[in-house]
Chain A
Amino acid sequence: MDLGPYLLFASLEGLVHAAVLSLIALGLSLVFGVMRIVNVAHGEFFMLGAILTWWVSNFVMGNPALGFLLALLIVPLVVGIIAMFSDLLILRHLKYDPEVTIIATIGILYIIQQFALMTFGPDARPVEQPFNIRLDLFWFGFSAYKFFVIFSAIILLFCVWLVMAKTKFGLILRATQLDSEIAQAFGIPISTVYSLVFGVGAAIAAVGAVLIVPIQQAHYLMGGEPLLLAFIVVIIGGLGSLKGTVVAAMLIGISDGIISVFFSPNLAKILATLLVVVVLLIRPNGLFRTIRT
C-alpha cells in the first residue's frame, strides 16, 4: 500500500479512539467543572464498565448484539451507582477538599482495580462484536462496528449538550458550576447534585467502555492509559467546555492513532504529554485556573 491509504487507515483507527476518549474526557471534565474535584479513579470506572460488559455478554447467550444492547443499558447504570456510593461514603465526608479528594480517589482507584483483579482475574478477555460486517473501503476492509462506535459517541455527546443547554437539570448543573453557594441559596440541593454528577460522569466513561470493549479486550489494568489521555485532553481543551473537550479529543485521538501506527504507542503518549507541557508554558495555570486551593 502507498502512504495515503495507510494514513487514512491510521486516521480512522484514531477517530475511533478519539470518539471513546472524548466520552471519557467529558466525564472527567463534567465532574471537575461542577464539583471542582479531580477524579483520579475515573479510568477505573471505565475499566469497570469494560469488565461488566464482559460479564453481561457472557451471561446472555445467543446473538452477541443482544448482550451488547443489554450491556449498553445496564453497565452505565451500575457503574454510575457505584460511583454515587463512593461519593456518598467517602468524598462527601472530605468536604470535597481538592487535594484530599485526589488522595482519596487514588485510594478508590486501587480498591476498584484490585477488586477487579480478584474477581475478573489478570487475563485480558475479548467480547464479541455485536455485528460483524466489513466495509470495503477500496484499499482495505474496515469494520462497520467501528463506524458505529464513532456514530454512537457523536449521538451521546449531542445528548449531553442538549441536557446541559436545554433542560432544567442542565440549568441546575450550570448554576452549581458557576457558584455553588449561591445555587444552594436558591434552593438547589447541592449534595444531591454532586452525587448525581459524580455518577453521571462515571456512567459516561462506562458507555465509552461498552463501546470500545468489542474492539479492545477487557483487562483490569486498562484504566491507566485512558486516564492519562483524558487529563491531556482536559488540560488542552479547557475544563467544563464541551466543545474544547471534543476538539482536543479529536486532536489527541487521531494523532495518537497515526503515531501509534507509524511509530509506537508509547511515543504517541510521550509526545502528547509534551504537548501539555508546551500548553502550560504558553498559558501557565491557564486551563486549570478555575481551581482555588
Chain B
Amino acid sequence: MRKDLILHLSALSVLLLLELLGIFSDYHQGNFARILVLAAYGVGYNILFGYTGLLSLGHALFFSAGLYASGLSIYHLDYDIGQSIIFAIGISAFISSLIGFLALRTIGVSFMIVTLMFSQIAYLSILYFGSITRGDEGFVIQQSSRFFFSLDLSNPTIRYYSALLIFSLCIFINLWIAKSSFGRVLVAIRENSDRALMLGYNVQSYKLLSIIISGTISGFAGACYGILFGYVGASFATVSYSIFPLLWVLIGGAGTVLGPLVGAIFMFYLIDYASDITDAYMIIVGVSLLTVTLFARRGLLGELRYRFFKWIP
C-alpha cells in the first residue's frame, strides 16, 4: 500500500481507537467531535489556501451558508437531516461559485479584502433578516429533528462517530485531489501562476473550481456542525470564524492533508485552556498568528515535510 494512504488511515484509526477503547472522558469526546467537524472545515479551507495559494479571509461565509441552509431548512421547512445536508451542499456550491466569480476578478491583497467584505455582508444580512434567522441569538435545532434515519445524532457516541466519518470523507476527498492531476495544477498555480498560464492551463477556471470545492466542503462542514451540535447562530459568521481555519492551517502546515486537524486540536485546547483564565481568550489567537507568521511559516507538518518526509501530501 502507498505510504501516504497508510499514514492517513492510521491517523484515522487512532481517532477511532481512542473512542473504541473508551480512552476519552465525556468532556474530551465532546471536544474531539467538535474538533473533527471544524477540522473538516479547515480541510476545505486548505484546498484553497494550502494547495491553490489563494488566501481567503471570508470563509465564514461558506461555513455559515451551510450552517444556515441546513438549520433554516430544518427549522422552517421541516426537512429531514439528509435533505437538509443535500440542500446545504447545493446552496454552498452556488454561493461559492458566485463569490468565486466575483472575487477572482481581483488578486493578492485585494482578493483577501474582497472576501473579507463579502463575508461581512453575509454576517450583516443574517442580523438584518433577524425575523427569519433569529439574528444574534440564533436558534436551537430540536433534538427530535436530529435523527438520521433511526440514529440519534445528539447521542455523544453516535455524534463522535458521525464527526469522524465526516472528517474522513473530507480527508479522502483532499487526498484524492492532492494526488490527482487537477491537484497538481492547483499546486502549480500556487507556485507560479504565470508559468501555469503559459503552459496552457486555464488558471482562472482552475481557481474558480478550487473555490467551489473549498467553499462546498466548508459549507458541508457547517451544515454538519449545526446538526451535530444543535445550534445555529450569527457568531459563526463573524470574522473570527474566517480567521480560525487560516490559523489551523498555518499551524498544522499549509498544503498538508492532516495539517488542519493538527492545528485545530492545538488551537481548540489552547483556547479552551485560556478561556478558564481570562475572558479575553482571543488574545491567544492574536499571539498565535504573530508567532506563526514571524517564526514558523511552514507550520508543524510543513516543517516535518520540509526536513524529513518529502512524501507527505
Query: B200 at the A/B interface (Cβ < 8 Å)?
Result: no
Are A270 and B109 in touch, CB under 8 angstroms? no
| B173 CB within 8 Å of chain A | no
Contact indicator B278/A110 (Cβ below 8 Å): no
Q: In the complex the two chains form, is B105's CB within 8 Å of A270's CB? A: no
A113 on the interface (CB 8 Å rule)? yes
In the complex, chain B residues 270-300 whose Cβ is within 8 Å of any chain A Cβ? 278-283, 285-290, 292-294, 297
Find chain B residues with CB under 8 A from A102 CB. 55, 57, 109, 112
Q: Are B109 and A38 in contact (CB under 8 A)?
A: yes
Task: Say which one of A129-137, A154-162, A280-288 lies at the interface with B.
Answer: A280-288
Contacting A at CB under 8 A, from B231-285, are 239, 243, 246, 250, 278-283, 285
Contact: A231 with B113, CB < 8 Å?
yes
State whether the Cβ of A169 lies closer than 8 Å to any Cβ in chain B: no
- Give the complex CA separation of A124 and B174 in angstroms: 45
- In Å, the complex CA distance between A289 and B68 comes to 35
Question: What number of B residues sit within 8 Å (CB to CB) of A?
Answer: 41
Flag the segment in B36-44, B122-130, B163-171 that touches A. Answer: B122-130
A118 lies within 8 A of B280 (CB):
yes
Chain A residue with minimal CB distance to B121? A273
Give Cα A239–Cα B287 distance, bound, in whole angstroms: 30
Q: 1/0 contact trace for B95-120 toward A, CB 8 Å?
A: 00000001001111110111011101
Residues of B within 8 A of A266 (CB): 124-125, 127-128
Question: Separation in Å of the B235 CB from the closest CB of chain A?
Answer: 13
A residues within 8 A CB of B290? 90, 104, 107-108, 111
Residue interface bits B117-146, CB-to-A below 8 A is 1, else 0: 110110011011000000000000000000
Complex formed: what's the CA distance from A102 to B243 in Å? 11
Interface-central residue, B102, B117, B250, by most chain A CB under 10 Å: B117
Contact of B110 among A114, A224, A281, A288 (CB under 8 A): A288
Chain B residues near A270 (CB-CB < 8 A): 121, 124-125, 128
Q: Bound complex: CA of A100 vs CA of B291, how far in Å?
A: 12
The residue in chain B whose Cβ has the minimal distance to the Cβ of A32 is B109
User: Is there a chain B Cβ closer than 8 Å to A232's Cβ?
Assistant: yes
List residues of chain B with CB within 8 A of the CB of A232. Answer: 117
A291's contact among B108, B125, B239, by CB below 8 Å, is which?
B108
Q: When the two chains form the complex, which single residue of A90, A93, A224, A231 contacts B117, counting CB atoms closer than 8 Å? A: A231
Give the residues from 66 to 99 in chain A that come closer than 8 angstroms, CB to CB, to chain B: 90, 93-94, 98-99
Please name all residues of chain A whose beta carbon is closer than 8 Å to the beta carbon of B107 when the two chains form the complex.
Answer: 285, 293
As a 0/1 sequence over residues 231 to 273 of chain A, the CB contacts with chain B under 8 angstroms (1 = contact) are 1100100000000000000000000000000001011011001
List the 5 shortest-distance A-B pairs measured between CB atoms, nearest first: A110-B286, A293-B108, A107-B289, A114-B283, A288-B110
A-B contact pairs, 20 of them (CB 8 A): A98-B108, A99-B108, A102-B109, A103-B246, A103-B293, A104-B290, A106-B243, A107-B287, A108-B286, A111-B287, A114-B286, A232-B117, A266-B127, A269-B124, A281-B105, A285-B105, A285-B106, A288-B106, A288-B113, A293-B107
* Given A110-B285, A266-B125, A293-B108, 17 extra CB contacts under 8 A: A90-B294, A94-B294, A104-B290, A106-B243, A106-B286, A107-B287, A108-B290, A117-B279, A264-B128, A269-B124, A270-B124, A270-B128, A273-B118, A273-B121, A280-B106, A284-B105, A291-B110
- Measuring CB to CB, which residues of chain B are less than 8 angstroms from any residue of chain A? 55, 57, 102, 105-110, 112-114, 116-118, 120-121, 124-125, 127-128, 239, 243, 246, 250, 278-283, 285-290, 292-294, 297
